[in-house]
Structure 1
Amino acid sequence: MRVRNSIFIICATLLLCSCDEKRVFDEYKSFDGTWNKDSIASFEFEQQDTTSLYNMFINIRNNNDYPYNNIFLIVEMLEPGNERAKVDTLEYQMAYPDGTLMGEGFTDVKESKLWYKENQRFPVQGTYKVNIQQAVREADKIPGVEELPGIIDVGFRIESTEE
């Protein structure tokens, strides 16, 4: 019995210690299966390192209720002490041509890790803020989709590029 407990403790410790060594920041905002066009997923993080390179990602968890093959996002990043944000309008593929959702997951919930910025430095030290808003429009329609179904969580992740 002691040997079995010891093996379990060693395995659990190894799993916890070896996971996700590149993660610098990783946070999610939850939605109740629908993302309103006026709902902004906001993330704040402290950054002191201005010399290293980082990769940034937007993570989307969606389910089979998501009706589109792509998603449009407006992402703004505010630097510390700067009132002007850098704003990007981004499009990501969310489904294969046959309608099957892309992303990782064994159930109907899929997680897509979407590139936002690659090999980026943070120019100044301090608190950064990232705002993510959905901007999906249906074909041949000007107004955006008010309620985007199938979205469970929206996340923002920063990873170190160093091994």
Structure 2
Amino acid sequence: MQTHKLCFLVGFCVFLVSCQDNVMYSDYKSFDYGWFKSDTLMFDIQAPDTIKPYDLFFVTRVNQDYEFNNLYLIANISFPNGKQIGDTLEYEMAESDGELMGKGFGSVKESKLWYKSNVIFTEKGDYTLEVKHAMRKFEKVEALDTLHGIMDFGVHLETIKPTEN
């Protein structure tokens, strides 16, 4: 019986690695007590190439303590030369009945959220991506002090797979 479990585990790990072959950069931040409004997540990305286009994704892992249907984020990218690009983003995180979207078993769901496509890193060097949540309670002006239910937040930079004709 143990041999079957080991074979399944090894097969599952090989499957996960093979699905990730186009990921050029991946980094996650974990939260023990929620994502505090004062937490600005920092991701340092070394430009992999100055010619090829890439897709940039956010990846979230949430549990049933996440009480919202959406997720508001503020993201800023700093270029090696100091230039910055900022975005305010909204993502759907749950169905209208409250069931969390995403893949996963049980109460934990992982969602891959598109951020930017066809990104070309025109400058060599380090790019810094800063992300913070901008969640508020309904009809409240002040930011939510702690966003509960977010277990992990990550960034994936992926090569664009050529389309087959």
TM-score, normalised relative to structure 1: 0.87
Query: What residue is the counterpart of 1:54 in the other structure?
Result: 54
Give the Å deviation of 1:81.
Answer: 2.5
Q: Which has the larger radius of gyration?
A: 1
5 Å-filtered alignment, 1:66-77, equals: 66-77=66-77
Looking at structure 2, the residues matched to 41 and 119 of structure 1 have their Cα atoms a distance apart, in angstroms, of: 23
Query: What residue is the counterpart of 1:4 in the other structure?
Result: none
**Residues 106, 12 of structure 1: alpha-carbon distance in 2 compared, 3 angstrom cutoff:** closer
Looking at structure 1, the residues matched to 25 and 158 of structure 2 have their Cα atoms a distance apart, in angstroms, of: 7
Query: What residue is the counterpart of 1:18 in the other structure?
Result: 18
Unaligned runs of 5+ in 1: 1-6
5 Å-filtered alignment, 1:1-163, equals: 15=15, 18-82=18-82, 84-163=83-162
Looking at structure 2, the residues matched to 46 and 135 of structure 1 have their Cα atoms a distance apart, in angstroms, of: 27
**Residues 92, 36 of structure 1: alpha-carbon distance in 2 compared, 3 angstrom cutoff:** same
Give the Å deviation of 1:34.
Answer: 0.7
Give the Å deviation of 1:120.
Answer: 1.5
Looking at structure 1, the residues matched to 102 and 126 of structure 2 have their Cα atoms a distance apart, in angstroms, of: 30
Looking at structure 2, the residues matched to 127 and 36 of structure 1 have their Cα atoms a distance apart, in angstroms, of: 26
Aligned length: 156
RMSD over aligned Cα atoms: 2.3
TM-score, normalised relative to structure 2: 0.86
Structure 1 residue matching 2:98: 3-state secondary structure: coil
Looking at structure 1, the residues matched to 151 and 138 of structure 2 have their Cα atoms a distance apart, in angstroms, of: 23
Give the Å deviation of 1:122.
Answer: 1.1
Looking at structure 2, the residues matched to 48 and 114 of structure 1 have their Cα atoms a distance apart, in angstroms, of: 21
Query: What residue is the counterpart of 2:4 in the other structure?
Result: none
Give the Å deviation of 1:17.
Answer: 6.3
Give the Å deviation of 1:15.
Answer: 4.6
Structure 2 residue matching 1:18: 3-state secondary structure: helix
Amino acid of the residue matched to residue 139 of structure 1?
F
Looking at structure 2, the residues matched to 39 and 22 of structure 1 have their Cα atoms a distance apart, in angstroms, of: 29
